[in-house]
Amino acid sequence: MSKLDHIIKLLVTTKLFNGLTYEELHEIFKKYPANITAYSSNAIVHFQGECCTGLDIVLNGHIQIQKIDANGDMSVICDFTAGNSIGENLLFSRNNAYPFTIVTKCHTEILYLSKQPILYLCRINDGFLQNFLESLSDKTLILSGKIKALSTKTIRKCIIEFLLCEYSIQKNTTIFLRLSKKELAEKFGIQRPSLSRELNKMRSKGLIEYNAKSITIKDVKELKRIYKGSGTCKEM
């Protein structure tokens, strides 16, 4: 089986290309040849401020959307893996600059589609047009919601939300960390010293205990109470 066959078999399983047949996509790629780029881990796919000229589809691997502010602090906006697409909300915009930096987290292959095949598919296939508009709307909501959440949550609320989420997944009050403290701080959009400072405050109040590999919740009910009643903005 050729590389193109593998790509088409993946695409027909994605939401964006849902409803299109293998034969239809094969004809598209005969008209508009596939442009695939392989990236190593921690490679920059698109810089913040770079113009979006096409749609990117992750064929395999893992990419991360990162926002770098004026102080040089980095926040993780969201992650995308195989089958996910990026650029719908920018491709046909007059202001089509990427507001974020896009980086790979492991070896990743990305299929690039220019405007031409997207416009062609929108013209000839109503199902694809609907899929594209739905994906565009979803991306806009995801990104705007994430930015709003990052800008309004306190550091403590971010930590508690993370702990309660992991508690429900791991079914244990001792949360084993799958991220380093640096990666966790980036996920919250703060600097590592700010995270350490808040963890120390929470430990001094008897809310948690922690070490390099885990964080132990001392009272789940109390964390839920604080989370529901906590305010917004800055450190507590």
Domain that holds residue 74: 3-147
Residues 34 and 139 in one domain: yes
Tell me the C-alpha distance between 219 and 206, whole Å.
9
Q: Is residue 60 part of a domain?
A: yes
Pair (44, 24) in one structural domain: yes
pLDDT band at 121 (very low <50, low <70, confident <90, very high): very high
Report how far residue 73's alpha carbon sits from residue 141's, in angstroms, rounded to the nearest whole number.
23
Answer yes or no: is 102 within a domain. yes
- Decide if 127 is inside a domain: yes
Domain boundary among 147, 182, 200: 147
Q: Do 143 and 189 reside in the same domain of the chain?
A: no
- Six-digit token pair at 33? 């040849």
Question: Does 236 map to a domain?
Answer: no
Please tell me the total count of domains within the chain. 2
145-172 residue pLDDT tens: 666 655 556 788 888 888 988 888 888 9
Query: Three-state DSSP class for 150?
Result: helix
**Is 26 in the same domain as 142?**
yes
- Same domain flag for 115 and 163: no
CA-CA-CA-CA dihedral for 140, 153, 79, 39, to nearest 10: 110
Of the candidates 131, 147, 163, which is a domain's last residue? Answer: 147
**DSSP string computed for 21-58:** -HHHHHHHHHHS--EEEEE-TT-EEE-TTPBP-EEEEE
End-to-end Cα distance, the chain:
58
231, pLDDT greater than 50: no
> 137: which 2 tokens?
């709307």
The answer to whether residue 234 sits within a structural domain is: no
Answer yes or no: is 210 within a domain.
yes
- Measured distance CA(168)–CA(163) in Å, rounded: 9
Q: What is the CATH number of the domain that holds 95?
A: 2.60.120.10
Which residues, other chains included, contact 131 with Cβ-Cβ below 8 Å and sequence gap of 6+? 15, 16, 17, 18, 19
**72 pLDDT tier (thresholds 50, 70, 90):** low
Give the model confidence (pLDDT) of 3-16 as tens digits: 888 899 899 999 99
> Is residue 96 domain-shared with residue 121, that is, in the same domain?
yes
Q: 142 with 181, same domain?
A: no
Specify whether 112 is located in the same domain as 216: no
Pairing of β 44-46 and β 85-86: unpaired
Residues 220 and 150 sit within 8 Å (Cβ to Cβ): no
Q: What is the CATH number of the domain that holds 170?
A: 1.10.10.10
Average pLDDT over residues 165-194: 85
- Do 206 and 90 fall within a single domain? no
Q: Per-residue confidence at 217, pLDDT binned at 50, 70, 90?
A: very high
Is 119 found in the same domain as 11? yes
| Residue 108 β-bridge partners | 39
- Beta bridge mates, 78: 65
Rg, Å, the chain Cα set? 21
